[in-house]
Structure 1
Amino acid sequence: MEDWRRIDIDALDPESGRLTAQDLIPPYVTQTNPQEVQQQITQIKSFATSGDIGSALQVATSNPPYGADNSTKTMYFHALLETLTQVRQADIASVVKQLQPQQQDVLMKYLYKGMSAPEGQRQGGILLAWFEKLTQVAGVRPVMHYLTDRRTV
């Protein structure tokens, strides 16, 4: 045992179990029905096309599809991104103030997702404006909840 720094201690412990991807899924996340998510997307788009962005965001952030598959989550994200891009920058703060604290946390998750996705990066200025107004209204609480919550959007 000359190189003791490279010993895998967990491999030597018989009671130590390796974590799998399934172990990392929070127990309180339930599977989401794709038809329900599609109905929610339709409702979001309906509110957004009628100009009621506040209601569209309230619907979008009240029950996000945490337990859905990646393609369903992507469709949901695109609907929310379209809604966010329809708001004038002067109206962002008033829309954010209409949201409950939990909804603001979900909105922050989608803003971070948008900044990391190529389609969201094309709308980077708009997402940064939303980020700025959200942190002005809610402080750093949504950022901290984004960093600590294991549920992904």
Structure 2
Amino acid sequence: MDQDWRRIDIDAFDPESGRLTEKDLIPPYPNNVTLQDIEPTINQLRNLASSGDSISAIKLATSDPPYSGDENVKYQYFLAVMTALSQVKQSDITNIIKQLSPKQQDVLIKYLYKGMAVKETQKQGGVLLAWFEKLTQVAGINPVVHYINDRKTV
């Protein structure tokens, strides 16, 4: 054995030792996204959803969410995602979910949970539950576990 395990400073790995702050535990993101930065994506998302290109709309919505935006930016993007999700036929949901990457499925579950938590979108509960059911049938519980453990919010 190269290292003497008795000489390892285990306190260096203790998050409560004072060496790591809460800020150190949050992964870095690019500069804060503004509403002007995300507006073209929101418009494109709405155009794809209204033209019936559901697959492209959902892929766009889940590919690069504005994690570093303020609450207003995240909310405006969220409303556009909810519009896209509500315009998909229930028979197409499974096919769309199968075409998403695991990372995109993780982002989708975040929007589904947020949709269930926000009062304005709780009226679309049936749509959200249909998406949730199909997502867990296709991907299993992995997106749910990732949602619980992820610090990034949408």
User: Deviation per CA, 1:118-142, whole angstroms, max 9, x where unpaired?
Assistant: 1221100110000000000111110
Equivalent residue runs for 1:43-122 within 5 Å: 43-122=44-123
Partner residue of 1:9?
none
For 1:122 and 1:24, the matched residues in 2 are separated by 39
For 2:130 and 2:63, the matched residues in 1 are separated by 21
- Over the matched positions of the two proteins, sequence identity in percent amounts to 51
TM norm structure 2: 0.82
For 1:86 and 1:46, the matched residues in 2 are separated by 12
CA shift, 1:24, in A, is 7.5
For 1:26 and 1:141, the matched residues in 2 are separated by 22
CA shift, 1:49, in A, is 1.1
Asked if the contact 1:61–1:104 (Cα under 8 Å) also holds between the matched residues in 2, the reply is: yes
CA shift, 1:112, in A, is 0.4
For the pair 1:40 / 2:14, whether they are aligned, the reply is: no
Asked if the contact 2:109–2:147 (Cα under 8 Å) also holds between the matched residues in 1, the reply is: yes
For the pair 1:129 / 2:130, whether they are aligned, the reply is: yes
Specify the code of the residue in structure 1 equivalent to 2:29: V
Residue 137 to residue 32, structure 1, CA distance change in 2 (3 Å): same
| Unpaired stretches in structure 1, ≥5 consecutive residues | 1-14
User: Deviation per CA, 1:84-127, whole angstroms, max 9, x where unpaired?
Assistant: 11111111111111111100100000000000001221100110
Number of residue-to-residue matches in the alignment: 137
CA shift, 1:25, in A, is 7.2
For 2:124 and 2:25, the matched residues in 1 are separated by 30
| Unpaired stretches in structure 2, ≥5 consecutive residues | 1-16
Asked if the contact 1:25–1:150 (Cα under 8 Å) also holds between the matched residues in 2, the reply is: no
CA shift, 1:35, in A, is 2.0
For 1:148 and 1:84, the matched residues in 2 are separated by 24
CA shift, 1:46, in A, is 1.0
User: Deviation per CA, 1:44-64, whole angstroms, max 9, x where unpaired?
Assistant: 011111100110111110000
User: Deviation per CA, 1:61-84, whole angstroms, max 9, x where unpaired?
Assistant: 000000001011000000000111
For 1:25 and 1:83, the matched residues in 2 are separated by 33
